[in-house]
Amino acid sequence: MSGGMAGRAEGRVGRRAGLTWAVHLSVLLLVVLWTLPTAGLFVTSLRDRDQIAVSGWWTALATSTQSLVFRAPAGEGEVEEAGRFVLRGTVLDGGAGRVTAFGTSSRAPAAFGPGETADLGDGVRLTVAADGGYELSGPQSFKAGRGQRIFHTAEVPPRFTLANYAGVLGAAGLGRSFLNSMTVAVPATVIPILVAAFAAYALAWMRFAGRGLLIAAVVGLLVVPLQMALIPLLSLYNGLGQAFGFDPKTYIGIWLAHTGFGLPLAIYLLRNYMAGLPREIIESARVDGANDFEIFTRIVLPLSFPALASFAIFQFLWTWNDLLVALVFLGAGDDRLVLTGRLVNLLGSRGGDWEILAASAFVSIAVPILVFFALQKYLVRGLLAGSVK
Amino acid sequence: MTQLYTALFTILIGIGAAVVYFGGSNWLLDRAFPVRGPGGRVAGDRVAGDRVARNIRLAGLIRPWLFLGPAILALGIYLVWPVAASVWLGFRSRDGSAFVGLENYRWLVTDPVFRESMLNNFLWLLVVPAAATFLGLVAAALTDRISWGNLAKSLIFMPMAISFVGAAVIWKFVYDYRGEGEQIGLLNAIVVALGGSPQAWIALPFWNNFFLMAILVWIQTGFAMVILSAALRGIPEETVEAAVIDGANPLQIFFRIMVPQIWGTIAVVWTTITITVLKVFDIVLAMTNGQWQSQVLANLMFDWMFRGGGDQGRGAVIAIVIMVLVIPIMVWNIRGARAEGGGP
């Protein structure tokens, strides 16, 4: 990482191949470090749940050797051949793979090679072939027992499946939460924009007493921690709910809360952008007799599209990814949980079930990632406008 | 689905209301103080001219407040009033019904979990902004000079789009620990491959803080990189060229010539991440919920807000502590904005 970092200077110093390689490798290392955690969970979300639990996701692309247990059915499907009861089937779930050893007890799970016959006593015999096919035979019907356990070691090829996603969208309530997140994020993104745009124009192009003070106030409010607002607002909502007899945890409540919390950034971003528009355009419109309302709606608003887009992306990502505001103003009720809240619940209740967690996480991550890659240009622009002084 | 229609309907109502308010109030203003005669021509005679001048002045006095009204109302209700109300609630009992003086503050300074949170938050403040800014600076400097730099930037920047909770799930999997059998968490697998013994990383008191911080550094580095990259590009060519002529090596040029010119931006990035750190809540809630001595202020506050029906007084004083920690940055920002000038 200590390679030359002098940007454009390098070309003039003269190309040093080693240095260039060091830069390439350092960036590669950074990129790998930054993408590997996400990639790991993504691969996991597509893996078979049995495989997730026994092998690391990095083995998913190669054939893995696994120690597995199969329980033969208790007599179901048995046939009588020459006075013996015979059960046939395969020990490999999904069919593909190769058995390299098998056994009949957990103490010696690999006592026999494929094709060998194990004698279980009382005339019961078991054979497992390399392709996973087994034959269990004995003098008595197997219907009386609980089903013979067959321990086996198998080389299982990588298997990818969408079953985890299908599972969580149905059973884990994730589909519902996805809708809830949408319901919260879209209006909470749209509502503040017009309100902020008018205010930003006033702060950028209108002259009135107290303007400097208001701009300073907006800058100050930018950093007020949300935590300061939660308790009074929650009791205000509860009070209003009691007074007028409605449930204080409503979507309208959270939309307005997100609007209030998002306004400082919206006004700040839009004001900075609008203040940078060419003065001549606005002055000449004024000379032509246009008032501020006309100048704003006909000239400034259309010109400010890039800044509006930047803010919309910020606000959408923030409201979609938010947990705190949703927990406080929408509650933790099962039918109101947004995706982030659902994920936290799953972490608590299904902490070890990575097939559920991984698929759920990616359902919640998918939308912001799509927005990110599609609209990155505006996001970067907004960040620069919001931070670099 | 019904709720989605409701949401779309609400958007329409909201936009409609905004259009009616802004358009309507402006129309009323134009009616109350007409500045144009019939047919749109400015009135010619002197008396009418005086009236027009007066009307322009009056309309100019009122219009800014029509534009600002809804924003000021929302900011007042959702940010300004709650700050004052939180300070007030800090002096009151758990349900806010009785005045208890400094009782909540007395509880705060003697509470061991609060001390633990302060210590942890201090560690976070020390490590995360520094690490994220430094890594962002390195990433910016390196990616700016290679052909696939933009792709690399995109990938390093991507965690920014992932929620803190999503990131917590991603990293909990990296830190996964199995008592027996093969390790399926990347970190423990590496440790085992190198001959070490696996650990339950997030349950190791003190050190678990750093494993949680890594998540926020992972998220914030992209932000630092994007902004610092733009600042590096804004450095005038001449300064670098002069140094090259003087025979400075690339490392010297970077640290002696380029970095000093972007100190202002580095400070902005640093303080922005500092504020994020002070508010960090989701990561701790999702990873440990404050167990194994990993509590932080924001999560402690959330805890008191709802624990046993909620203690408003104690929750409020913890929020006030966070606010007090933010105030220096707030003052510095406001000064910066004012020095820059109030407008065009």
Q: Per-residue pLDDT tens for A34-53? A: 999 999 999 999 988 877 88
If you average pLDDT over residues B62-75, what whole number do you get? 92
Residues of B in contact with A251 (CB under 8 A): 3, 6-7, 10
ipTM higher than the 0.85 cut: yes
Give tens-digit pLDDT for A313-354. Answer: 989 999 999 999 999 999 888 888 999 999 998 888 877 788
* Sequence-distant contacts of A7-16: CB under 8 A, at least 24 apart: A7/B141, A7/B144, A7/B145, A7/B232, A7/B240, A7/B254, A7/B258, A8/B145, A8/B237, A8/B240, A9/B240, A9/B241, A9/B243, A9/B244, A9/B250, A9/B253, A10/B145, A10/B250, A12/B241, A12/B244, A13/B244, A13/B249, A13/B250
Which is more confident, B296 or A156?
B296
B25-64 residues touching A, CB cutoff 8 A? 26, 30, 35-36, 42, 59-61, 63-64
Give which of B157, B163, B271 to mutate to test A binding, by max A Cβ within 10 Å. Answer: B163
With an 8 Å Cβ cutoff, are A257 and B35 in contact?
no
Q: Determine how β-strand A149-156 pairs with β-strand A98-103.
A: antiparallel
Which is more confident, B4 or A343?
A343
pLDDT at position A172: 66
- pLDDT value at A102 more than 70: yes
Question: How far is residue B196's CA from residue B12's CA, in Å, rounded to a whole number?
Answer: 60
pLDDT at position B4: 74
Percent of chain A residues past pLDDT 90, beyond the cut = 31
How close, in Å, is residue A258 to chain B by CA atoms? 9
Domain B104-339 top-level CATH class = mainly alpha
If you average pLDDT over residues B35-54, what whole number do you get? 64
User: Number of residue pairs across A and B with CB atoms under 8 Å?
Assistant: 398
With an 8 Å Cβ cutoff, are A23 and B61 in contact?
no
If you average pLDDT over residues A118-124, what whole number do you get? 83
If you average pLDDT over residues B11-35, what whole number do you get? 84
**Confidence band, pLDDT 50/70/90 cuts, at residue B46:** low
Q: Which residue of B has its CA nearest to A278?
A: B344
Report whether A368 contacts B164 (CB < 8 A): no
Report whether B185 contacts B202 (CB < 8 A): no
Give tens-digit pLDDT for A220-234. Answer: 999 899 889 999 999
Q: Which residue of A has its CA nearest to B238?
A: A9
Give the best-scoring range by mean pLDDT among A63-77, A147-161, B287-301: B287-301
Report whether A203 contacts A214 (CB < 8 A): yes
Give tens-digit pLDDT for A122-133. Answer: 888 888 888 888
**Confidence band, pLDDT 50/70/90 cuts, at residue B89:** very high
With an 8 Å Cβ cutoff, are A224 and B83 in contact?
yes
Residues of A in contact with B7 (CB under 8 A): 182-183, 186-187, 251
pLDDT at position A52: 83
Q: Where are the domains of chain A?
A: 1-61, 64-157, 166-387
**Confidence band, pLDDT 50/70/90 cuts, at residue A11:** very low
Q: Which residue of B has its CA nearest to A189?
A: B11
Question: How far is residue B314's CA from residue B311's CA, in Å, rounded to a whole number?
Answer: 6
If you average pLDDT over residues B47-59, what whole number do you get? 80
Residues of B in contact with A327 (CB under 8 A): 302
Q: Where are the domains of chain B?
A: 2-89, 104-339
Residues of B in contact with A267 (CB under 8 A): 71
- pLDDT value at B290 more than 80: yes
For chain A, say whether B191 makes contact (Cβ under 8 Å). Answer: no
pLDDT at position B5: 81
With an 8 Å Cβ cutoff, are A202 and B89 in contact?
no
List, in sequence order, the alpha helices (H) in B144-293.
149-157, 164-174, 186-193, 207-233, 237-245, 250-252, 259-261, 263-278, 282-287
**Confidence band, pLDDT 50/70/90 cuts, at residue A16:** low
**Confidence band, pLDDT 50/70/90 cuts, at residue B333:** confident
For chain A, say whether B315 makes contact (Cβ under 8 Å). Answer: yes
- pLDDT value at B274 more than 80: yes
Give, in order, the Cα–Cα distances in Å from B165 to each of A62, A78, A347. 30, 51, 10
Give tens-digit pLDDT for B164-183. Answer: 999 999 999 999 998 877 88
With an 8 Å Cβ cutoff, are B14 and A206 in contact?
no
With an 8 Å Cβ cutoff, are B162 and A12 in contact?
no
pLDDT at position B36: 64
Which is more confident, B11 or B276?
B276
Domain A166-387 top-level CATH class = mainly alpha
Give tens-digit pLDDT for A157-204. Answer: 777 888 888 888 877 678 888 888 988 998 899 889 989 999 999 999
Which is more confident, A177 or A6?
A177
Q: Which residue of B has its CA nearest to A262?
A: B75
